[in-house]
Amino acid sequence: MNAPDATPAASPDPASRPLPLAGLRVVEFTHMVMGPTCGMVLADMGAEVIKVEPIEGDRTRHLLGAGAGFFPMFNRNKKSIAIDLHSPEGAAVARRLAASADVVAENFKPGTMGKYGLDYAALSAVNPRLIYVSHKGFLPGPYEHRVALDEVVQMMGGLAYMTGRSGDPLRAGTSVNDIMGGMFGAIGALGALIQRGITGRGQEVQSALFENNVFLVGQHMMQYAITGKPAAPMPERISAWAVYDVFTVKDGEQIFLSAVSDAQWAVFCDALGFADLKADVRYATNNERVTLRPELMPILRERLAHRSAAELAALFERVGLPFAPIRKPEELFDDEHLNATGGLAEITLPDGARAGETARSTLFPFTMDGQRLGVRLQPPHQGEHTTELLAALGYDGAAIEALRALRAIG
């Protein structure tokens, strides 16, 4: 051991260091968004993630409309093996593959994995060190056998009510519960891995859409518990801050502007030349301004209507006030900050009319040792790694071809 005052050795280049989960094997029996998100988190952090697909491939490879981006978005840095679990020979291959894993992840209906001997009880009997991550619609309880979708739990869990206007529940504009449910599954897996390092034993981790959604609206539940007043939908809420809104300005453009403290209110008034509002004692504190919002906001809207969004953005940036242009998702490809900081990475599309072409995908929003976690493996073609993975499990060429002839593998 070095003496306490020894000069520490120079740290290696972060880019040359192994990723934190290098050497970890994850086998995922997943589809759609929730389970694949869990696998992507672990894959981006360096794990070898093997995606088990049916012979015909994951359904999300060929979805239209809002689902068109699912597969390339959530399946980078993974290998693909095609196995027919309905075939006894295929199920045996899957069990052998799962026996080689540190982590198994799945997001099928309760009872599905047990039919193939791929449930936690069966797999952990062979490998007590296994960590098994189940992604479900509901944690065990009265609802556990219901079919759940992101939209279902948003409706029953209060999120759609909070997002829309009264009488018009509206789902959030992205797959928030699927994505966060997968992330919580990955968090659980990481915690279980740490505990396994201490105890030597694995465990089952469960993550669920409904419980994730309830966690998201927990702040509004707590608001009711404290105030005794039901939370109003976001478009009709009583804001905690007086200036915290979208303004329609010159040429019909829109921009979000805010001033969330008394100091920011003073800066806001000074920057915009609203000396009279700053001097008005009725608006002296944030809570007073919130109370008087019905009269204050029309004044601000009228005074700002002739200014351009670009002018206001430049002004707010210069004086350090919060603001935001109103953007569409496709406009983010040209975002100056994302492009300067490496927030988008090029991937090769594996399926569809644009197969073989490249597109830029979003990376995880954090760095490790100053580096973004990038793309090591492109989203895989269906069954791209089947032969390679089976050979590593000890199947010889003849055995692999025999399994193919039976259509147990693809």
Distance (Å, rounded) from C-alpha 403 to C-alpha 84? 10
Supply the DSSP string of 234-295, one letter for each residue. Answer: GGG---SSSEEEEEE-GGG-EEEEEE-SHHHHHHHHHHHT-HHHHH-GGGSSHHHHHHTHHH
Annotation marks residue 178 as catalytic: yes
Evaluate whether 128 touches 202 at the Cβ level (below 8 Å).
yes
How many helices (H) and strands (E) in the chain?
17, 13
Strands 371-372 and 48-53: unpaired
Do the Cβ atoms of 79 and 385 come closer than 8 Å?
A: yes
From the list 84, 150, 178, 351, the catalytic residue is 178
What does the block give as tokens for 342?
């490496």
Place of tokens 């894993």: 101
Q: Distance between alpha carbon 175 and the CA centroid of its chain, in Å?
A: 8
Rounded CA gap, 201 and 195, in Å?
8
Which helix or strand (DSSP H or E) is residue 190 part of? helix 176-199
Tokens linked to 325: 């242009």
Name the maximum alpha-carbon separation found in the chain: 86
From the number of C-beta atoms within 10 Å of its C-beta (0-12, 13-18, 19+), residue 348 rates as middle
Which residues are designated catalytic? 178
